Homo-oligomer: A and B are copies of this chain.
Amino acid sequence: MPCYCDWSDRRWNPNTGLCETCQGSYKDCSGKLGHEVSDTLDEATFLKEYKKEEYPKPSVTVDIVIFTVIDSDLKVLLIQRKGHPFKGFWAIPGGFVDVGDGYQKQGESSLEAANRELAEETGLPIGSCFLEQLYTFAEPNRDPRTRVISIAHYALVPSNLMVFVHAGDDAAQAQWFPVSELNSLDLAFDHGKILQMAINRIQGKIDYAPIAFSLVPQTFTVAELRAVYEAVKGDKYDPSNFRRRFHRMLQDGVILPATGKRTTNGRSAQVYRFKA
């Protein structure tokens, strides 16, 4: 039986040759355009005899730019390198992608690797933060030791989870830096470029995607959300105009009123929550 899934949703299982969602065989799919349908035995033989090519391969890592907002200030988590090269320089946390044996066992996806690394670095459980791929940095000589390709990601830690994050626990190994102070920092490898791209990305994306909600607690006030926008954009927003945008999101059902109020210095404020 062929796969009837939408063309962009088909997901072939390489061991069975079946689509993972509908269990249709990819071999039954071909022929619509009159081309040759491959012989099953042929392909099985081919895969068995597939020669592990001898070409050099790169190491592949995931790097993560971890953002949070502390005291209305956008910050990133950096790690001081203990070893060479760039010993003593500050670096974005990262790690290798597990590729299994590279053949029968193919290991984890890059997103899984990034999730693992993010959890290790922050101490937060997997899935508690927004995490997304940013860009892949694949210039030669990024690392003097060997060819390393880095799939860079960025993560957003909500401010209320910060109390659980163990950054700075073990004597300045990891530390939060305000993005405004990054220019006075010596960054390892091409991590300056990666950081700049990550900052540009969230500054652009906050205008059309609901990423700000990943930086505030589950419930938040208008002013708290505005503080996140101001921290990310590095600019001031008119409170009343921002409220109007907020109110539109409320009308559109993007935001829902929550029970309770919050008071800081002046009048107490209504609390809201992000829907789904």
Q: Which residues of A contact B (CB under 8 A)?
A: 6-15, 26, 29-33, 35-38, 42-43, 46-47, 50, 52-53, 55-60, 80, 83-90, 96-97, 99-103, 106-111, 133, 135-136, 138-147, 149, 151, 182-187, 189-190, 192-193, 195-196
Contact = CB atoms under 8 A, between A and B. Distances in A.
A136 B136 contact: yes
Question: 7 nearest interchain CB pairs?
Answer: A14-B144, A8-B196, A106-B140, A110-B138, A57-B57, A56-B102, A38-B87
A252 to B, nearest CB: 19
A271 to B, nearest CB: 33
B109 A140 contact: yes
Contacts of A47: 84-85, 144-145
A138 B98 CA distance: 11
Given A57-B58, A58-B97, A100-B140, 7 more contacts: A7-B183, A7-B192, A36-B88, A38-B87, A56-B102, A103-B147, A149-B149
A77 B138 CA distance: 25
B182 A57 contact: no
A195 B106 contact: no
A29 B149 contact: no
Given A182-B7, A185-B33, A146 B85 contact: no
